[in-house]
Amino acid sequence: MSATSVLFDAPGPRARRASLIGSVVSLTAITAGAAWIIWILAAPRVSGGITLPGMFDASRWDILTDPQVWGFIGTGVAATLQAAAVAAAGAVALGVVLSLLRSSRLPWVRIPTAILLEFFRGMPVLLMMLFILLVASTGAFWAVVLALIVYNGTLIGEALRAGLAALPRGQREAALSLGMREFQSKLLVEFPQALRQMLPIIVAQLVVLLKDTSLGYIVGYNEIIRSNMNNLASFFGNRYLFTLFVVTLVIYLTINLLLSWLARWLSWRTASGSGTVAAGADPGTADPTSAIRLVQAASTAQHPGTGTHL
Amino acid sequence: MTQLWSLMPEFWGGLRMTVLLLAVSGGLSLVLGTVITALRISPVPVLRWFAAIWTEVARNTPLTLVFFFTAFVLPMLGVRAPFLLLALVALTYYTSPFVAEALRSGINGVPVGQAEAARSIGLGFGQTVTLVVLPQAFRMTIPPLINVYIALTKNTSVAGGFFVVEMFATTRQLVNDNGNIVLPLLLVAAALYLVVTVPLGFAAVQLEKRWVVSR
């Protein structure tokens, strides 16, 4: 956020006053908006001549004191995390393989991989889930997991390939001059560096993967949304729909924000670590396109979520 | 084959709905995303925090949950609206922080010296942003923005699970009705999605190549 401080002067007394007024006005507006929403939610509502209690009435929240309900919610969370964990492991593994194939020197390996990557990147995950569900008839769990592996694996593979391409050419030349084979150089010298460079992007992609397990709701996998909102809400009645929605939202936000912060922390750590490497490299001998790619890759790494996401 | 051809009108209808969702929610989220970006870089701290919190919450909520809110919770709260409108709201809300992040990364990508030079010749905040920073940020923003729209194209399929008959819902319906040609139907659906996403991706790569050099 260095740009922000440059866009306006260090505020003098008048600007400070204007900023203070702006702060107070906007804070009032935001508070008023929030209060309005809360007031609407809290108001009792009339439906078909019957008056129902507002959204914050105790009778809408009493199920949360029931440990069995929490046990059921826990099952949903476990199902989501299980699908996410299996898919994450698979996606990283597939990504590694794809990035190696994609950056191969053999055209008959590289080109089909590139086409395959393009194909899977342009397709909705949901359609893939439906595809696997119907064509392979694997059941909902594997439909969700396999589709997420294929989709996120291609994106992680693409990120790793960009990382490989962004490495200084000297790394490879040095490895080859030491007598390493092409594949040894790739696996022992280039790949570990690319992986480290792209780690924040990969973790950001895993957040996306976790969010996408919620698509299981549509194809019939009992993850959090389906188990909370469909099963619990239909068991206890529509009265608790809002309550269960809030619970689900809080669970998702907690898990995802923790993962996002991990991604940001990794990004900050790798950025500070690679700074010395970049400063040590001689700009004169570096390949200009690879330098540009490195800058791009680094700038994407600074903002996980803007590169590969959703 | 003739059976497959006879189903093309349905696919066409689904594709039209998908493109409609993409165009309308894409336009709306561009507007909303621009507003959030403006708040994010504004001199008023409260607005910056508000925009940051909005971005963080919206980005970390699964799209399915957002759709669930608009399609089930809102009607329960008394909002009466057609499902298409609710789907557009969900897609816009979900896409806006990604648009905002793309715009913000573009603004951050403009060299600091540009803003400093603008400041030093006496331009104010509004002038610096609109005359100097944004025109340069724009070209750095287009490729990531296209990527956001590619993702949005794919995300419109979630609307198919919530009562909007677009490509995904159409395909699911057709597959249920024509059990003998499941595989061809799914491949046609995949191809139709690629018809939208591949040209967008190609444009992003081309623009990125051209503009990276000219900077």
**Boundaries of every domain in chain B:** 2-214
User: Which has the closest alpha carbon to A94: A131, A130, A127, A121?
Assistant: A121
Q: Is the pLDDT of residue A257 over 50?
A: yes
The answer to whether position A251 is within a domain reads no
Q: How many Å lie between the alpha carbon of A280 and the closest alpha carbon of chain B?
A: 23
Out of A135, A252, A260, the one facing B183 most closely (by C-beta) is: A135
CA dist., res. A291 & res. A277, Å (int): 13
Contacts with A117 from chain B: Cβ below 8 Å:
none
Q: What is the pLDDT of residue A302?
A: 43
Confidence at residue A287, expressed as pLDDT on a 0 to 100 scale: 44
**pLDDT for position A63:** 84
Q: Average pLDDT for residues A158-174, to the nearest whole number?
A: 89
Q: Out of A216-220, A293-297, B31-35, B188-192, pick the least confident.
A: A293-297
Give chain A positions within 8 Å (CB) of B205. Answer: none
In terms of residue numbers, what domain contains A210? 79-222+256-302
Query: How many distinct structural domains can be found in chain A?
Result: 1
Instruction: Look at residue A292 and tell me whether its pLDDT is greater than 60.
Output: no
Q: What is the mean pLDDT of residues B90-95?
A: 96
Q: Would residue A49 count as lying in a domain? A: no
Question: B interface mutation test: which of A5, A40, A126 has the most B CBs within 10 A?
Answer: A126
Confidence at B212, pLDDT banded by 50, 70, 90: low
Poorest-pLDDT segment among A263-272, B30-39, B151-160? A263-272
> With an 8 Å Cβ cutoff, are A122 and B43 in contact?
no
Specify the 3-state DSSP secondary structure of A181.
Answer: coil
Taking residues A230-259, report their average pLDDT: 88
Instruction: Scan residues 13-72 of B and list those with Cβ closer than 8 Å to A.
Output: 41, 43-48, 50, 56-57, 59-65, 68-69, 72
Residue A66 lies in a domain: no
DSSP chain B: -HHHHHTHHHHHHHHHHHHHHHHHHHHHHHHHHHHHHHHHTSS-HHHHHHHHHHHHHHHTS-HHHHHHIIIIIHHHTT----HHHHHHHHHHHHHHHHHHHHHHHHHHHS-HHHHHHHHHTT--HHHIIIIIIHHHHHHHHHHHHHHHHHHHHHHHHHHGGGT--SHHHHHHHHHHH-GGGHHHHHHHHHHHHHHHHHHHHHHHHHHHHHHHHH-
**Burial of B155 by CB count in 10 Å (0-12 exposed, 13-18 middle, 19+ buried)?**
buried
Q: Which of A18-27, A58-67, A298-307 has the lowest mean pLDDT?
A: A298-307
- Lowest mean per-residue pLDDT among A30-34, B114-118, B171-175: B114-118
Look up the CATH number of the domain holding residue A168. 1.10.3720.10
SS3 A48: coil
User: Considering only alpha carbons, which residue of chain B is nearest residue A255?
Assistant: B60
* Angle between helix A107-121 and A140-166 (nearest 10): 130
Find the range with the poorest average confidence among A30-34, A126-130, B35-39, B127-131.
Answer: B127-131
Question: What distance in Å separates residue B115's CA from the closest CA in chain A?
Answer: 6
pLDDT given at position A285: 38
Position A17 pLDDT exceeds 90: no
Alpha-helix runs per DSSP H in A122-139: 125-131
pLDDT of res. B135: 82
pLDDT at B129: 82
- B181 vs A263 pLDDT, higher one: B181
How many other C-beta atoms can be found within 10 angstroms of the C-beta atom of residue A265? 12
Q: Minimum mean pLDDT among A17-31, B25-39, B126-140: which range?
A: B126-140
Asked whether A160 and A195 are in contact (CB, 8 A), the reply is yes
User: Fold for domain B2-214?
Assistant: MetI-like fold (1.10.3720)
Mean pLDDT for chain A overall: 82
| B203 inside 8 A of chain A by CB | no
Asked whether residue A17 is domain-assigned, the answer is: no
Q: What is the ipTM of this complex?
A: 0.85
Q: Is B11 on the interface with A (CB under 8 A)?
A: no
Residue A52 resides in a domain: no
Average confidence (pLDDT) over B3-29: 93
CA-nearest of A105, A102, A104 to A115 is A102
- Asked if B107 lies within 8 A of A217 by C-beta distance, the reply is no
Least confident among A152-156, A165-169, A265-269, A281-285? A281-285
pLDDT reading at A249 higher than 90: yes
A245 → closest Cβ in B69, B160, B201: B69
Chain A residues closer than 8 Å to B183 by CB: 135
